Structure formats: structure tokens, C-alpha cells
Structure 1
Amino acid sequence: MTRPFSGLKILVTGGAGFIGSHIVDSLVSQGAKVTVLDNFSFGRIDNLSTVRSKIKIIKADIRDYGKLVKAMEGIDMVSHHAAQLEIIRANNDPWIDLQINLLGTINVLKASRIKRVKKIINASSACVYGQPKYKKQDENHPVEPNWEYGISKLAAEKYCRIFTTSFGIPSVSLRYSIVYGPREWYRRVLTIFIKRTIQGKPLVVFGDGKLYRDYVYVADVVKAHNLCLIKKAADGEVINIGSGNLITILKLARLVNIVSGKQLPIIHEQVSEGGESRQVPGKKRNPQDLKGMCLDNKKAKKLLDWQSEVTLPDGIHFELDWAMKNLDQWRKIKYS
């Protein structure tokens, strides 16, 4: 087994979260000396159970610049995944979204510069694009975020670019589509479908279910992330990380039924944008909902020799299997 990160000291902000913890697992397995910095607002120590004895954990917030500087002592590379992820929270309180996603990222960049970090991977989002102008959004698609979250993520990308061009710190911003898999937090539609499947309840689709999304399995995201750490071709770039395949929410519900073999009823509920479901306790529909999201991943294929490998049926099966054993983690929907 190759160990390309053997001996490298890598800081993962948000390393106890969904994507971050999978990155930590992978880096440790490949010989990296990993430090996790997380405030544990959404991250879970359980997510790090298999590697806890092999890593350093710092409970801190990326808004605390002093603690970030200390955490980066001797660090070679930074994987920046700490973020405020909730669309509705950002809509209700844009200031907290900006503080975490933009000012927090600036803190990461400043600390990286002071401590002479060799590379930064910045977790961005397909939400920077806003409503699709054409079906498969490539990196040249107009960036017109329709959510506050997308604005903060886009601004963070721009600051990464400035620190690369002005200070020579290589950075890569990865625009993720909908990442799914074990350890995903409970709120998004696939997690709700899976939980209701386990409970034997009808699957609830908002409206006609024609909105479409691009789902990419978390293990494929980790592979793309790790390639960016070692490939110079990625330096200074923004890169889409998605499957390149779209699926409507209605077809997603049908697919969950096929994978589970339960064939549960599918209910269509009319919920206004920003409104709350009567069928799914605590579930609110996003304001100004995206009509569609599907990422063109040709650039990732060209620069990284990467493409998603886990099919959506297989990925749903893996997440369903995990959720059956960990349903206590999905007790209720949490927005902050």
C-alpha cells in the first residue's frame, strides 16, 4: 500500500464533521500526522473513533485567530473544511454565516501565511453558481449565488486566490455538489428519505419533485481532495467535484425505494419556499430554492485524472446500512 502522505503534518479544520472526518481517516491511513481543529458544533468525536489515538484534536473555532496560529505550528498543509453549512441559518443570520465562512477562512489563510504552510485545500460549494443557466455547470458558469451561504463561499474562494497570487501559498478551492454517505448530518432530502425508509414511513417530496441535484459519494470526494494535495496542476484552481449526473428529487425517492426493497408510498407535499413541512417534523424548505444543480467535472478529470466511481444506488445502500446502525445520530433536524 502506497503512503504518499507519510510524515506530512496536515491540519484539518472541521475534521470531526461529515466530510472532514472521512478525510482524516484517509490521511491517517496513508501515513499523515493529522491535527483536527473543530469546535464540535456539528462535528462528532464519534466520527474519529477509529483514528482518535493516532491524531491530535484541538477544540477551537476558526474565528479564534490566536488558537489557529498555535494549531498551525509545524503544519505542512491545511485542509479547510470548517464551515457554516445551513442555508436557512445563513438566510436568518447572514452575519454569523459571514463570520464563519469568510472571516474564519481569512483567519486560516493569515495563519497559514505566518506559519509558511505549503498548500491549502479550501472546501467550497456548487452553491456559488446560483440558478443554472445551462444543465451542466462548469467552472466558467456565471457565479450568481442566490443564497447568502453561496456568497460567503464565493468570497472565501476569492481570498484564497489572492493569497495564492500575492503571497505564493498554493490553494485549491473545491466546489462540491451534494456530498452524501455515512456520517452525513440529518436535514437534507436524502437523509430524510433514508430515515423514513428505516421507520417504514412514506417518503415526502416537496411539490412535483422536478428539482434536480448532483450527488457525489463522500469517498470519491476524499480521493479528489487527496489528489489536490499532491498534484501541482491543481494549484490556484477552482475545481468542480461532482458526479456529473443529475437526478430529480422524485426519481431519488423512487431509487431509495428500489435500493431498500420496501416500495413505500411517495407523498407530494406543497411547501412554499422558506415554509415548514407538516409531514416531516422540523424540516423547512430552502428559500429561493435551486431549480437544479449538476456539475460538469471535466476539469477534475483533466487536472486530477479523477472521476466519481461509486454509483448512486451503491452509495445509497452504504448510507442506508450506516444509518440503520446509527439512527440515534438523526434524532431531529438541527439548523444551528
Structure 2
Amino acid sequence: MPETIPTTSSGPTSKETTVYVDSSKDVFDSSAFDPVLARKLALANTAIDQIGMTPFQWKLFFLNGFGYTVDSLLVICQSIAMPAVTMQYGSPGKSLKGIALASQIGLLTGAAIWGLSADIIGRRLAFNSSLLLAAIFTIIAGGMPGYISFATLVSLYSAAVGGNYILDATTLLEFLPVNKTWLVTFMSIWWAVGYTITGLLAWAFMSNYSCFPTAASGACAYQDNMGWRYLHFTIGGLTLMLSLLRVFLIRIVQTPRWLISQNRDAEVIQFLTDLSAKYDRQFDLTLDDLRSEGDVKNTEKSVWSVVRIKAHFSGLFRTRKLTWSFLVIMLNWLVIGIVSPLYHVFLPYYLKSRG
């Protein structure tokens, strides 16, 4: 029989609701290390399930999907532009593909910074600012006068969008009812949308506004090689529009599950109350229910304290099962990170050599 931890919630309807934390199928049983957090998350999850799927979550699905789209847009954008930029300005090193390297360094840096900061200060700031910064740097990249300056801007817009991928998935997941969490996996469809848009734009710009493939390096004039610039201006403008939609179409708040982990119970209830009132839904959870469970561990300390920052890393290795899960996922992403750049770096040169 699965191990469960019962907790009781009574709401405004005076209907007693018993919630269970079922850890039998979890990779990480949080109740073994912080039972208060486990019980509070169970209560919050039940409240979200009672409210159900609303237009708010559907908007998030599309707006977060824009982030997936932009992620693939920008990765492919620099890959397609690289031969044209190299033809116009030459490359500092014959064997070093500086633009591709700049992109990968930026993606790695962005993933580390955005991911960790979102755990510390919450999802909202990173969610609202990552696409906006990516749009600004992409537009500026289209006007760069040299190889080094262009590679620098590529690294910057890659860093801006680097952590956006996981932020979009995490933010959506933390707002969804349990029976709709499959939408996070379905989000991958937005990657295909990004590839398609970039391919169509490149077909229009690169084929009509680029130097001939036979042109010598450095012999390609500015006015004859505007395709890669038009590509960046257009994708940057599209990204800017999508980033503004994310800010103004839906006013994102901190996710209820993250707020629970920070012991900010009143804000959780406020969000659930506002959401249920707007869409005429009901839920039973009250502020007293959450507070009666106690305080989550270490939340009395600053979010920048050594103890709490260390927990973000040590928590990945709490159990053998969790450690293996983390390592396998990292290995999968490592392989993807090796194969994908090889493909994107090689493909433009292959197509160029075949006319």
C-alpha cells in the first residue's frame, strides 16, 4: 500500500476535504526531508485542481510557447547567418567557428544564470525580461559592422534566451492542474514553429539579398549582403512583439507552488482567490489551512543565504534515485548539446558547397 501523509483542509463551504501526499511514485519524496512543504504543496495542488483549467492557463500555454519558438528561432538564425557574415568579414581563425562558439557560450551562461535566479527570486522577473533582452540584442546584432562585434551580440542574445526554455516549462507546470500537466510535453510543438518561421524568412532574405557563394572572403560588399541583417531585424522585431504580449496580455505573478516553497502563504491564497473569482470557480483552501501546517524549512533565512543557495544544488542528490534521475537527464541534454550544434554548424556549409 502506498505511503501517504494525510492533511485536512476545510474551506468556506465548511466541507472537510482530506488531501493525501502520495509519495509511492515520486522520484523525490519531499515529505521525508520537509514534511511541511510536502503537505502545503498537496493542499495547493488540490486547490488548483478544484479550480481546474481556465483561460489563464491556456494563455500561458501559448505565451510560454512563444518562448520555445524564440529559442529555436535564434539558434537557427545565427547558424544560417554565419556563412554570410564570414563571407563579408572573414573569420579571425580558419578552424574556429567563432559565431557558433559564441552562441553556445551564451546559451550555457544564460541557462545557468536564469535557472538559478528563478529559483532564488521567483519566475516572474526572468519570465518577463528574458525575451525582451533577446529581442533588443537580436536587433542590434543585425547592425554590427564586423565579425567580432556580431559574435559578441550573438552570445548576448543567446544568453538572454538560454534559460528561457526551462523557465517556460517550469512556469507553465506550476500553474497547471495535475490532469493537464501533459501540456508541458506538448509544448515541444512550438520548437517546430520556430524552425518553420526561420526557414521561411531565410528563404526570402538569404536567397535574394546575399553575395554569391563563389565570392571570396572579404570581397562581399555591405550592400550586396543584407540578407543576414534583414533576417536578424525581422526575427528581433518578432521577438520584441512576442515579449510585449507576454508582459501586457497576461500579467504574470509568482507561481503558487514557488510561493509555497518560500512560505508566502497569503500570496498563494490571494492568487487562488483572484483566479477563482475571475472565472467563477470554487476551491476550499484557506489561509488558516496553510498556516496551520507550520513553516517550510529555512524560509526565515535570506534567499541569498549560503544555506538556501546550497540547498538548490544539494537537493539534487538527496536520494540515490533522485541522483540517478538527475544524472540521466543531464546526460540526455549533454548528447543533445553535442549533436545539435554539430548539425547546425555543418548544414549551412554543406548546402553552400552543393549550391
Report the TM-score, using the length of structure 2 for normalisation.
0.24
Q: Which has the higher contact order (CA 8 A, sep 6+)?
A: 2
Greater helix content: 2
Larger Rg: 2
Report the TM-score, using the length of structure 1 for normalisation.
0.24
Greater strand content: 1
